[in-house]
Amino acid sequence: MDARTSDIDILVSEVGPRDGLQSIGSIMPTEAKKAWIAAEAAAGVREIEVGSFVPARLLPQLADTAEIVAYARTIPGLTVAVLVPNARGAEAAIASGADKITLPLSVSETHSLANLRRTHEQVIAEAGAIGRMIAAQPPGLRPHFEGSLSTVFGCTLEGPISDAQVGRLAAALMNAGCDEVGLSDTTGYADPASVRRLIALVRNVVGRGALTGIHLHNTRGLGLANALAALDCGLTTLDASLGGIGGCPFAPGASGNIVTEDLVFMLEAMGLRTGIDIDRLLAVRELVAQALPQEEMFGFLPDAKLPLGFRSAPALEYI
């Protein structure tokens, strides 16, 4: 989604119900997940990655994804996103009525084998199968298909990844039928300079319109700086997780995502419209904390609170 075509400037895509929950030990009750998603949507969040169609034996935290998708689809105006590891998962996602499907392709083949148990060529073949599956749906029922370039800023298992490999895999995903590619800092290796460089590299391969979003982690404290660098390059979709929960169970040391609350505050303070009510978003955090009493949550805004008299800055022509 290009946020510039709507009444918001930046689309904040909430990934906590998927990326957050898959990375923690607690299993959130299904009804609590529904309450979380409903409350965030009511706060103005327009896209939520609600789960992943993976085998329950691998990620029991997400075993109820089909039920969660069915519930989320009843919320007006909400884009219901899911992650899938393969064509079988995509088939279930399409049957569930998900609006957006993301297939991760680790540019590190070592990580791909650990995460999906598939080589690069096998994942590309899965992407092709998914692309054909989506194309076979009636025009109004085709989910948006994103190929996510995971570990694109570096891998804890393999180290730096060559530009040539990144470019080759980005092109392969688009040729397989993806509507767009996204960049994912799975391991928290990104810095603002590398964000700018990788955006330019991938756009040179796939075109500006096929790269609008980025998924960032705050492993080394650079999450918001990296988000700002992405904004400077014209990206309009930023993934974030409420309370910063999340990571990657197959990438050692890949701690949590950037914090939704902190990101929304930064954007609104800059005059970039997100459509999200910050006070209501902070209330959602309390709801989630009560449902996950054993889990740590992160973020500066929840502790510091909004500045006295804070109002979103006037809209800017920033992008």
Give tens-digit pLDDT for 105-158.
999 998 888 877 889 999 999 999 999 999 999 998 999 999 999 999 999 888
Q: Report which residue type is found at 15.
A: V
Quote the CA–CA distance of 36 and 284 in Å, as a whole number: 7
Residue 240: partners with Cβ closer than 8 Å, 6 or more residues away: 12, 13, 14, 15, 216, 257, 258, 259, 260, 263, 264
Range of the domain at 287: 3-304
Q: Please determine, for residue 212, whether its predicted confidence score (pLDDT) is greater than 60.
A: yes
Is residue 315 in some structural domain? no
pLDDT tier for residue 3 given thresholds of 50, 70 and 90: low
Residues facing residue 146 across a β-bridge: 102, 180
Is residue 311 in some structural domain? no
Catalytic residues: 248
* pLDDT, tens only, 33-83: 999 999 999 999 999 999 999 999 989 999 999 999 999 999 999 999 999
Q: Please determine, for residue 253, whether its predicted confidence score (pLDDT) is greater than 60.
A: no
Residues facing residue 12 across a β-bridge: 238
What average pLDDT does the segment 88-99 reach? 97
Is residue 249 in some structural domain? yes
Is residue 228 in some structural domain? yes
Query: What confidence score (pLDDT) does residue 255 get?
Result: 63
Is residue 318 in some structural domain? no
Number of residues that make up the chain: 319
Is residue 309 in some structural domain? no
Name the range with the highest mean pLDDT among 205-214, 241-250, 253-262: 205-214
Is residue 253 in some structural domain? yes
Q: Please determine, for residue 250, whether its predicted confidence score (pLDDT) is greater than 80.
A: no
- The domain tally of the chain equals 1
Triad 304, 236, 132: Cα angle to 5°: 130
| CATH number of the domain encompassing residue 16 | 3.20.20.70
> Which 3-state string (H, E, C) describes the chain?
CCHHHCCCCCEEEECHHHHHHHCCCCCCCHHHHHHHHHHHHHCCCCEEEEEECCCCCCCHHHCCHHHHHHHHCCCCCCEEEEECCCHHHHHHHHHHCCCEEEEEEECCHHHHHHHCCCCHHHHHHHHHHHHHHHHCCCHHHCCEEEEEEECCCCECCCECCCHHHHHHHHHHHHHCCCCEEEEECCCCCCCHHHHHHHHHHHHHHHCHHHCCEEECECCCCCHHHHHHHHHHCCCCEEEEEHHHCCCCCCCCCCCCECEHHHHHHHHHHCCCCCCCCHHHHHHHHHHHHHHCCCCCCCCCHHHHCCCCCCCCCCCCCCC
Is residue 146 in some structural domain? yes
Query: What confidence score (pLDDT) does residue 6 get?
Result: 72
